[in-house]
Structure 1
């Protein structure tokens, strides 16, 4: 059981270090601006909500 716990702790530490590393890369090497341009181009950035159509009859 101790070996599994050690493995989980090592994986968690590795995951945290990779998270910090990739956040540093994205923020410092202008990759965020490129990703923002892609989301604007794809139309994902807009927060427009489409109206929902009622398909149920009103039961009274």
Structure 2
């Protein structure tokens, strides 16, 4: 069982490293400009925090 846990831990660490490398590749190096346009089109990068707070407070 201890061998299995070591192998599983190594797989998790490798997956985390690949996730971080992929995120850096996609977002920081601007690998796919179309992806950046898609994110802006969906409104994910907009700063809507104040509108969200106003909605929760009932000030709208």
TM-score class, shorter? 0.5 to 0.7
TM-score, normalization by structure 2: 0.53
TM-score, reference length from structure 1? 0.53
- Distance in structure 2 (CA, Å) of the matches to 1:26 and 1:3: 35
Larger Rg: 1
For this pair of structures, how many residues does the alignment match?
42
Ranges in structure 2 where 5+ consecutive residues have no aligned partner: 43-60
- Give 4+ residue runs of structure 1 displaced > 6 Å after superposition: none
For residue 6 of structure 1, report the CA deviation from its aligned partner: 0.2
Runs of at least 5 residues in structure 1 that lack an aligned partner in the other structure: 40-44, 46-60
- Separation in structure 2 between the aligned mates of residue 24 and residue 30 of structure 1, nearest angstrom: 9
RMSD of the TM alignment (CA)? Answer: 2.3
**Number of the residue aligned with 1:29:** 29
2:28, 2:36 → 1: CA distance? 15
